[in-house]
Structures are given as C-alpha cells and as structure tokens.
C-alpha cells in the first residue's frame, strides 16, 4: 500500500490526480453550491471522481477540501461543520484509493488577507487552518498538500498548523504568473522554494499558475534554489469563454508533453489542476512510466511566454450594446467631439491614412523609468511612431497612465498609447482614471474588456466586469463631447483617440463580428488585432466586417518553439498554424539564436503579406526581436 512518505523518499517520479472542481462542475454541480459540502450531501459523486483518477494512474489523490476552512465555509454558513466536512472528505478519498494510492489532505488559502496585508493575525490564520487539519487527520490522510498559495506568510501558517498537530509529510505549492514567475504578492519561485525548505516542508512546487509553460519556467527556478523534491500541477491552460461557460481546451497530449519536460527539469510529482481530467492524468502517467528524475543544477535559458495580448478571449461578461440614452444626451448637449485629426498625432495619422508603426512595452516593476525611456528612444530611432503601454493586471507594475505621461514627456518623436482594461474595475474608478489620463495629456487609449480571470480551483471563480469595452467606448465618446454617462457636462471635451480589440481567430466568429460592430457604433476610431500568424485568416475576417475603421495588425516575433507551442495550446484567441510551429521546432533544433531569427522572419513575412490591407502594425516582444522586424 503506497503512502506519501514512501513516495517522497523512493527517488522515483509519481503521478498526482487532476482537478476535482472541474469534474464536479462537468457533472452538473451548480457554481453556487459549496463543493466542500458535497462530501456530506453527495459522497458517491465525490468518490467516483477519485476512483476515475485512481484508474487513470494517479498515485496520490487529494481530498475534496480545497476550500473547507472555516473562513470560506462561513460564506455558506457551514463554518461550524469544518472538522466534519474535512473528516468525511478524507474518509471518502481513503475508500476510493482502496490501497492503490496515497491520500493527501488538500488545503487552500483562507480567502482573506492576513497581517500585514489584512486584519487577520498570524495566530488566527493558523487556528483556522488547524481546524481543517484536525478533520483531515481524523479521516485518515497520509499527508498534506498545501496548494495555490500566493502569500508566503499565509502558506507558513498553514504549514505550522499541520506541524503543530502531526509529523505527516507536507507538500507546499504556490501559484505564480507572468514571465517573472512571481506570486500575486511578489514572491519569486526561488523565494518560495527556499522558504519551504527553511520551514521543514517535505516537498515544494507549483500548481494552477495559468498552464504548463509557466509552471515549467517556475520549476526550473525552484530546482536551482532547493534540493527538496519538486511537484508540478499546472492548469490545462487558460479557460476560454464558450457561450456562458468557461472551458479548458488544452489537449491531454500537450499536457503530457509538458509533463515530460517538467520531469526533465526535476519534478518528482506531476499532475494537474484546473481543467485537467482523468484523461490528462492517464496521458501523464504514460509519460512517467520508466522516466527517472534529473536534478538540474545549471540554469537553462528561459524562453519567456508573452504577456497577455490585447483582445484575448473574452470572459463571460455582460455584452454592452450601444447606449441610446448616452447618444441622446450627446445630441442634447450639442458639443461635437474634436475632429479626429486634432486630438493627437495618432489621430492625425489615422485621418491622413498614414501607415502606423506601434511597439508594445510593459511598465517597469519599480518606479525607475530610465531603462524604459532609453528603450523607447531607441525604438523611435528604429522607426516606431507609437509606443503602446500594455497593462499587466497579473503583477504590480508602474501605472500605465503614469508610464505613458513619462514617455510623452521624455521621448520626442513617439506618442504613447495606453492599454486600459475594464475587468475588476467599477465604472466610477474607470471614469476617474480616464479623466486623470486626459488631465496629464494622454490622448490615445486602447479599451479592453480584459482577459479571463486567473483560474481558481473551482468553477465559481468569477471576474467582475461592471462595464465592458463596448460600454466604456460609449462612455469615452461622451467624454470626448464633454459629458459624463448621465449626460452631465464635465467641461472641455476630453479628446481621446479610442482603440478597441479585434480577435480575428475567435471561436465564435458571429459573436466577435457582432461585438466589433457595436464597438464601431459606440465610437471606436481604430482597432488592434490579436497577433497575426496567418494573413489569410485576418483577410477573411476583415472581408466580413460591414463597418470599417482603421485596423492595426498585432505582430509577435516568436522567440522559441516553446513559445509557439504555448501560444498554440494555452493562450485563448491566438491562432498559431501547425506549419509555423513546425518551422520553429526545426529552427530550435539548430539553437536558440536560430529560433529567434526564424521567429523574426515569420513576423516579417506576415507584415509584407498585409501591406496595403491594414492601417499599421503593433509589434510585441523583446527589444532585439522588435528591432529585427522594424529593420525590415
């Protein structure tokens, strides 16, 4: 009979199960139900999910208790049953394992901020976790997996809650995002690994974290920082909006392919998180067979995946049609918007039909903008006339409007374009932000609804979209005429040049065409596409558009085969043809520099193919790659 301690010590690679919440959701459990309460109300349903994972080859299964702490249970008035629900969950998992798999008690974050970020003390947090630990121990778990933590202080309290009650093994897992592999509170993968080792954890790793590519990057860094056994349980990529549902469409064979890479990077335990199913685990198990782990002491050059791109797949947000009341208010106010050509240099170029060359940059993590300013000046010298400041909502960076104002002041010859997302902002906040932008002289904005939210372990994790990009375009049209959404005068017209996103590779083409029509009707002045790797696909989409505004094509020079595979499999709304991926694989086989050169050549080919058909290009990527395309 396997137990977690023996699996940790035997030096072999082992398979953990996949998502519980995804499976329960797919079986018809509504999102407003407490999934942890199912341990009492529908134990057979929970047990069957466990059994499916054991049959697929999982050697470790996690209890259905990710949110079974008294804080999260209190939202369902179940906090008094904390110990009971955890005890029942452990017994269900032990019964399902039937001696064929080890059972780990799953413990997730409390869902509240603890000191110094919130009012809950460290001792209180440890007590909350302790109640969950007590129930899991009563149910007979073999050990614990602390998962999806972003705050190391909270993770430590969960670990101490276990250690104060048991000497069973503990695996500590964090979730990271972005190309720098940091948690939402700023901790790096290396920091997490070193902290877990210092506490005395038996293993450390990553789970959730968008998808396999990001987890691989983070695991490579952890391998440099600690000798502890490493674990990896990535999501099945990002969720995509299909109708009213969020669905994970990353293929099991792609997940299995990355499992092999994770093992090569040092992973001793591999499995899945959100969106993964028994089929994903079965394919991972096939890869694990006969593979032994290799500890990596020399850092492999990381091939970073790009930040989320403009107009990525839309979350299940309200679709805001053009606002007749606002348009009536504009007519009544009698204040026409300033002519497009007078609003900014971009507006002048759009009106004149000049070709626009835009380069996308990220604000710095700190407040020092000297490096960014130097880069922008170099890009201007290379031929850029617009600097698009991308808003990365996944990590703390300098505000995009402040960054744009600095670029406008410090980089003659170029003009900034601010990417601004609606997700998780109230309309009043958006109004304040936009008025502040106008006051600082920022005139060009690209309005985006925002990417799907960072996925959580259960299907009820939702983003807040008060007003989407269509609604916000209506609002900005009003600001340009000197009125707010209620028709009240705000003084002088704002004078924004308004851009919107266009997703030429959207799965639901009819919906995307409809949304684009509404964006144009709401007052958009131009559009920026998703990265284009197939010129014919964009031509076909543009041919179906009835209302035309200038379209700027997104261009992304690929840096590696890994990045091409990531975009093809994990980034919603980006279409990378198989032939492009194969070209990158062949180039990669000849070295990293050859792969980067091939990616730049593919980008140049797309630009040449679209000459005369688009109003310009917006290039995203590392400075060297961008300059290689600009130089063409």
Better-scored residue on pLDDT, 571 or 563: 563
- The alpha carbon of residue 262 and the mean position of all alpha carbons in its chain are separated, in whole angstroms, by 20
Last residue of a domain, one of 268, 288, 308: 288
Judge if 358 and 249 occupy the same domain: no
CATH of residue 264: 3.20.20.330
Per-residue confidence (pLDDT) for residue 119, from 0 to 100: 79
Judge if 284 and 418 occupy the same domain: no
Judge if 278 and 349 occupy the same domain: no
Judge if 261 and 355 occupy the same domain: no
Mean pLDDT of 139-157: 95
Q: Is the pLDDT of residue 425 over 60?
A: yes
In this structure, is residue 475 part of a structural domain?
A: no
Judge if 234 and 360 occupy the same domain: no
Last residue of a domain, one of 288, 319, 352: 288
Task: Tell me if residue 206 falls in helix, strand or coil.
Answer: strand
CATH of residue 621: 3.20.20.220
In this structure, is residue 471 part of a structural domain?
A: no
In this structure, is residue 184 part of a structural domain?
A: yes
In this structure, is residue 296 part of a structural domain?
A: no
Q: CB of 279 within 8 A of CB of 304? A: no
Judge if 284 and 394 occupy the same domain: no
Q: Is the pLDDT of residue 550 over 50?
A: yes
Judge if 429 and 561 occupy the same domain: yes
Total number of domains in the chain: 2
Q: Is the pLDDT of residue 494 over 80?
A: yes
Token pair, residue 304, equals 């970073």
In this structure, is residue 302 part of a structural domain?
A: no
Torsion of CA 176, 179, 184, 188, to 10 degrees: 70
Q: How confident is the model at residue 317 (pLDDT cuts 50, 70, 90)?
A: very low
In this structure, is residue 577 part of a structural domain?
A: yes
Q: Which pLDDT tens digit goes with each residue over 215-235?
A: 999 999 999 999 999 999 999
Name the region of 277 (left: φ>0; alpha: ψ -120 to 50; beta: rest): beta
Per-residue confidence (pLDDT) for residue 315, from 0 to 100: 30
Q: Which pLDDT tens digit goes with each residue over 169-184?
A: 999 999 998 778 888 8
Per-residue confidence (pLDDT) for residue 310, from 0 to 100: 33
Peptide bond into 116 cis (omega under 30): yes
Mean pLDDT of 578-582: 96
Per-residue confidence (pLDDT) for residue 247, from 0 to 100: 56
> H or E element: which one contains 197?
helix 189-199
Q: Whole-number mean pLDDT of the chain?
A: 87
Mean pLDDT of 256-274: 92
Per-residue confidence (pLDDT) for residue 240, from 0 to 100: 61
Q: By percentage, how much of the chain surpasses pLDDT 90?
A: 64
Q: Which pLDDT tens digit goes with each residue over 367-384?
A: 999 999 999 999 999 999
Judge if 538 and 613 occupy the same domain: yes
> Picking from 27-36, 237-246, 363-372, which range would have the lowest pLDDT averaged per residue?
237-246
Q: Is the pLDDT of residue 308 over 60?
A: no
**How far is Cα 218 from Cα 564, in angstroms, rounded to an integer?**
18
> Picking from 356-360, 482-486, 517-521, which range would have the lowest pLDDT averaged per residue?
482-486
Per-residue confidence (pLDDT) for residue 72, from 0 to 100: 95
Judge if 43 and 123 occupy the same domain: yes
Last residue of a domain, one of 288, 310, 327: 288
Cα angle, residue 561 at apex, residues 557 and 566 outer, rounded to 5°: 85
Q: How confident is the model at residue 586 (pLDDT cuts 50, 70, 90)?
A: very high
Q: Is the pLDDT of residue 20 over 50?
A: yes
Better-scored residue on pLDDT, 61 or 492: 61
Q: CB of 233 within 8 A of CB of 58? A: no
Judge if 278 and 375 occupy the same domain: no
Beta-bridge partner residues of 145: 106, 171
What is the helix, strand, coil percentage profile of the chain, to 5?
Answer: 45, 15, 40
Q: How confident is the model at residue 335 (pLDDT cuts 50, 70, 90)?
A: low
Token pair, residue 604, equals 């140049």
**How far is Cα 90 from Cα 88, in angstroms, rounded to an integer?**
5
CB neighbour list of residue 2: distance below 8 Å, 6 or more residues apart:
59, 100, 101, 102
In this structure, is residue 602 part of a structural domain?
A: yes
Per-residue confidence (pLDDT) for residue 249, from 0 to 100: 59
> Picking from 157-161, 356-360, 383-387, 490-494, which range would have the lowest pLDDT averaged per residue?
490-494
Mean pLDDT of 491-514: 91
Closest CA to 466 of 421, 407, 425, 513: 425
Per-residue confidence (pLDDT) for residue 2, from 0 to 100: 81
Judge if 143 and 266 occupy the same domain: yes
Per-residue confidence (pLDDT) for residue 562, from 0 to 100: 93
Which phi and psi (to 5°) does residue 234 adopt? -80, 160
In terms of residue numbers, what domain contains 504?
344-452+496-509+524-630
In this structure, is residue 458 part of a structural domain?
A: no
Judge if 420 and 565 occupy the same domain: yes
Q: How confident is the model at residue 115 (pLDDT cuts 50, 70, 90)?
A: confident
Q: Is the pLDDT of residue 186 over 60?
A: yes
Q: CB of 532 within 8 A of CB of 596? A: no
Q: How confident is the model at residue 209 (pLDDT cuts 50, 70, 90)?
A: confident
**How far is Cα 555 from Cα 529, in angstroms, rounded to an integer?**
9
Mean pLDDT of 409-426: 91
Report CA torsion sign: 125, 130, 135, 141. positive
Per-residue confidence (pLDDT) for residue 452, from 0 to 100: 55
Describe the strand order of the beta sheet including 102-107 as a list of residue ranges. Answer: 14-15, 267-270, 230-234, 203-208, 170-174, 143-149, 102-107, 60-62
């Amino acid at each position: 009979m396997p137990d977690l301690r023996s699996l940790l010590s035997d030096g072999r690679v082992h398979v953990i199960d996949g998502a519980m919440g995804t499976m329960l959701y797919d079986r018809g459990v509504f999102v407003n139900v407490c999934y942890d309460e199912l341990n009492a109300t529908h134990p057979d349903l929970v047990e069957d999910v466990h059994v499916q994972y054991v049959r697929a080859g999982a050697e470790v299964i996690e209890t259905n208790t990710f949110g079974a702490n008294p804080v999260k249970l209190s939202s369902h008035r179940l906090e008094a049953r904390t110990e009971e629900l955890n005890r029942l969950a452990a017994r269900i998992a032990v019964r399902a394992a039937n001696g064929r798999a080890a059972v780990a008690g799953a413990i997730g974050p409390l869902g509240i901020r603890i000191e110094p970020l919130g009012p809950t003390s460290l001792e209180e947090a440890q007590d909350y976790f302790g109640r969950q630990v007590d129930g899991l121990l009563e149910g007979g778990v073999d050990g614990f997996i602390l998962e999806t933590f972003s705050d190391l202080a909270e993770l430590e309290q969960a670990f101490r809650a276990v250690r104060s009650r048991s000497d069973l093994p503990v695996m500590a897992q964090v979730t990271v995002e972005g190309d720098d592999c940091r948690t939402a509170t700023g901790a790096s993968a290396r920091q997490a690994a070193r902290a877990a080792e210092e506490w005395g954890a038996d293993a450390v790793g990553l789970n959730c974290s968008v998808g396999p590519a990001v987890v691989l990057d983070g695991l490579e860094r952890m391998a440099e920082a600690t000798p502890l056994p490493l674990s990896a349980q990535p999501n099945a990529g990002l969720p995509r909006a299909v109708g009213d549902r969020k669905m994970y469409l990353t293929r099991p064979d792609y997940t299995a392919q990355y499992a092999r890479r994770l093992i090569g990077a040092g992973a001793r335990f591999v499995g899945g998180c959100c969106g993964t199913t028994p089929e994903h685990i079965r394919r991972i198990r096939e890869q694990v067979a006969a593979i032994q782990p290799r500890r990596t002491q020399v850092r492999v050059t990381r091939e970073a995946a790009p930040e989320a791109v403009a107009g990525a797949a839309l979350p299940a947000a309200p679709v805001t049609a053009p606002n007749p009341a606002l348009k009536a208010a504009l007519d009544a106010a009698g204040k026409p918007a300033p002519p497009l050509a007078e609003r900014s240099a971009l507006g002048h170029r759009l009106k004149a039909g000049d070709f626009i060359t835009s380069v996308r940059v990220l604000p710095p993590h700190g407040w020092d903008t000297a490096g960014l300013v130097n880069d922008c000046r170099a890009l201007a010298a290379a031929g850029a006339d617009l600097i698009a400041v991308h808003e990365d909502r996944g990590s703390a960076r300098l505000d995009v409007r402040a960054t744009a104002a600095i670029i406008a002041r410090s980089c003659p010859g170029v003009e900034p374009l601010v990417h601004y997302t609606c997700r998780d902002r109230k309309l009043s906040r958006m109004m304040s932000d936009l008025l502040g932008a106008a006051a600082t002289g920022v005139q060009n904005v690209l309005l985006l609804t925002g990417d799907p939210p960072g996925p959580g372990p259960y299907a009820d994790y939702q983003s807040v979209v008060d007003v989407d990009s269509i609604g916000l375009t209506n609002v900005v049209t009003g600001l340009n005429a000197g009125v707010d959404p209620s028709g009240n005068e705000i003084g002088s017209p704002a004078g924004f040049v308004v851009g919107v996103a266009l997703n030429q590779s959207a799965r639901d083409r009819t919906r995307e065409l409809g949304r684009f029509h509404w964006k144009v009707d709401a007052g958009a002045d131009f559009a920026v596409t998703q990265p284009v790797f197939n010129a014919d696909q964009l031509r076909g989409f543009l041919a179906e558009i009835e209302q035309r505004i200038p379209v700027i094509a997104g261009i992304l020079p690929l840096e590696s085969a890994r990045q091409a595979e990531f975009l093809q499999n994990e980034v919603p709304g980006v279409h990378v043809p198989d032939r492009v991926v194969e070209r990158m694989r062949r180039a990669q086989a000849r070295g990293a520099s050859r792969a980067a050169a091939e990616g730049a050549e593919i980008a140049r080919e797309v630009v040449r193919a679209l000459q005369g058909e688009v109003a310009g290009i917006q290039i995203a990527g590392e400075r060297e790659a961008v300059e290689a395309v600009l130089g063409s």
